Chain A
Amino acid sequence: MNTKQEPQRFVIPIGPQHPALKEPGNFQFTVDGEIVTKAFVRLGYAHRGIEKAAEERTWIQDLYLIERVCGICSHIHALAYCLAVEQLAHVEAPPRAQAIRVLVAELERIHSHFLWMGVSGHEAGFDTFFMYSWRDRERVMNILEKLTGNRVNYSANVLGGVKFDLDKEQIASIRSGIDFLEERTRHYLDVVATDFMFLQRTRGIGVMSRAQAEIMGAVGPTARASNVARDVRKDAPYAAYKEYPVDIILDERGDLEARFEVRLKELFESFYLIRKILDTLPGGELTARMPRKVPAGEAVMRVEAPRGELLYFIRSNGSDKPERLKIRTPTICNLTSVVKLAIGHQLADVPMILAGIDPCFSCNDRSVQIRTSSDPDGRMLSWDELRQHGIDFYKRLEK
């Protein structure tokens, strides 16, 4: 009989259904008491086959399909798509349209950061913070509804420009909304930076050094909180960001507190940018003429989603449907950091670390081609083979 005491090891599954996750994803943490010793992530629960579906629809229909890749970053996905297709067709959207696009993108960033604030407050157990920040988020959603006609999935873009214009009443409501939100953001920054009990859950947790961030390929505010100065709006300005430049917000500490502060300070940049756009909106028309059949070619477009760098690759073969559409979202770059950083932390810190990267699982489930040394071109499975593969996989797990 083995008399040596084995330490109790559990595998705690966080997901696919778990109160900590707003979307399905599977994390398996091996814990020893309360300390995490190993982590494993499995995705694919929100895969909908959008890239394949996009090949069956015309360019105009695809715009609305792409908008629905994600609910919180829908405008930025549509914007990246429009810019890439306009690049292929050698069409330049007029300046007023580009400015309005940037305006909606920044409003969406505000919405996304308020949503994230509430969710991470909830993960920490600070429900009051959650309720108040989501109450304020209603304000920005009302502004967007007044402006575009819908609270989520704004459908502001068309290929070649935007759908609507701004009139005096809307500009006034945007301004008053922004003033209210700026005051609230100041208050939340104060809460996040000085509340003792909240800092106990965020200070010194999930520390990622600059070298680690660069190796793991972190993007967006997660990387900027570790002093990696990467922001697509500054590195490769698109739409109207050349006329309305932004400052990069950096923080050296690299822990959860830094990520909170970076996102909240980014909101101030957004408020400033929106006011500047409203003050100096260029005149002109709203759309440029786009052909129905986009000329053949390949285009790559990088934009800054609220979560980080979003990349679109589109290949056209001259017809009215795309040949290949590839989307690479920021969350998939940041997930490695969760898996690596969770080790050594307590189980209670893990949902906070996950919330710190602002995960968006519906964005990141794209198809991935796996090449092994025995199948250098990857393996293609037919429908029946795929079904059998699934059955065998779970049978093996049960053993």
Chain B
Amino acid sequence: MKIGVMFPDVSGALMRHSATEKYPFQRQEVTARLRSLLKWNPEACTGCGLCAMDCPAEAIQVNVLDRKAKRFVFAYQVDRCAFCGQCVESCRQGALEMANDRWELAALNKEPFMLYFGDPDDIKAVLAAEPAGEAGIPADK
């Protein structure tokens, strides 16, 4: 039956640095496997669309303009993404990869959250073809 059993911790604390991380002056090191923003490699992609089918948050849409000429527009909605990594698993060509250092994604408007990858002319064509409003992703479901 003792009193103050945490005394060694408390007295040792005077000699220790505080365990608080003073963000943003101190940042934790990112680990190699951290799942942050998605990156798409157009060379390897075949436009099969398995990633879009398997995404639990329906954040990906693969617009196929010309499959033989490999003209794809990969539309990625970052604010829907749950960073689960299923798309990386599902892709049989290894065209998708999650960066491990793009985890500070806060923004003041919606612009940075709607990413289009592909040839700029193709992207314009896709945006023009969609009705006004959220391009590429259906409004519900």
Contact = CB atoms under 8 A, between A and B. Distances in A.
A164 B33 contact: yes
A146 B34 CA distance: 7
A149 B19 contact: no
B49 interface: no
A60 B6 contact: no
A64 interface: yes
Contact of A149 (B1, B3, B31, B82): B31
Contact of B85 (A128, A142, A149): A149
Main secondary structure of the interface of B (DSSP, over half): loop
Q: In the complex, which range does the number of interface residues on chain A fall in?
A: 20 to 34
B93 interface: no
A191 B5 contact: yes
A40 interface: no
A359 B35 CA distance: 30
Nearest to A145: B31
B54 interface: yes
A61 interface: yes
Contact of B82 (A64, A138, A196): A64
Contacts of B86: 60-61, 63-64, 155, 158
A27 B35 CA distance: 39
Interface string A71-108: 00000000000000000000000000000000000000
Contacts of B101: none
B34 A60 contact: no
Interface string B78-107: 000011111001100000001010000000
A389 interface: no
Nearest to B19: A135
Contacts of A179: none
A197 interface: yes
Interface in A115-150: 128-129, 132, 135, 138, 142, 145-150
B54 A58 contact: yes
A56 B55 CA distance: 13
B10 interface: yes
A57 interface: yes
B31 A195 contact: no
B54 A145 contact: no
B112 interface: no
A164 B85 CA distance: 11
Contacts of B82: 64
Contacts of A150: 34-35, 83
B9 interface: yes
A194 interface: yes
Interface residues of B, number: 30
A364 to B, nearest CB: 23
Given A60-B86, A64-B56, A150-B83, A194 B34 contact: no
A93 to B, nearest CB: 14
Given A149-B85, A158-B89, A65 B56 contact: yes
B56 A57 contact: yes
B77 to A, nearest CB: 16
A97 to B, nearest CB: 13
A149 B35 contact: yes
Nearest to B82: A64
B110 interface: no
A270 to B, nearest CB: 22
Contacts of B35: 149-150, 155
A315 to B, nearest CB: 21
B68 interface: no
Interface string B43-87: 000000000011111000000000000000000000000111110
B131 to A, nearest CB: 25
Contacts of B54: 58, 60-61
Contact of B56 (A61, A132, A199): A61
B3 A195 contact: yes
A158 B32 CA distance: 20
A202 to B, nearest CB: 13
Contacts of A195: 2-6
Q: For the complex of A and B, list the 4 residue pairs with the smallest distance between their C-beta atoms, beginning with the closest.
A: A64-B56, A61-B56, A149-B33, A195-B5
Given A61-B56, A149-B100, 6 more contacts: A128-B6, A147-B33, A155-B84, A155-B86, A158-B86, A191-B5
24 contacts: A60-B54, A60-B56, A61-B54, A63-B86, A64-B56, A64-B57, A64-B82, A65-B56, A132-B6, A142-B28, A142-B31, A145-B31, A145-B34, A147-B33, A148-B33, A149-B31, A149-B34, A149-B85, A155-B84, A155-B85, A190-B5, A195-B4, A196-B1, A199-B1
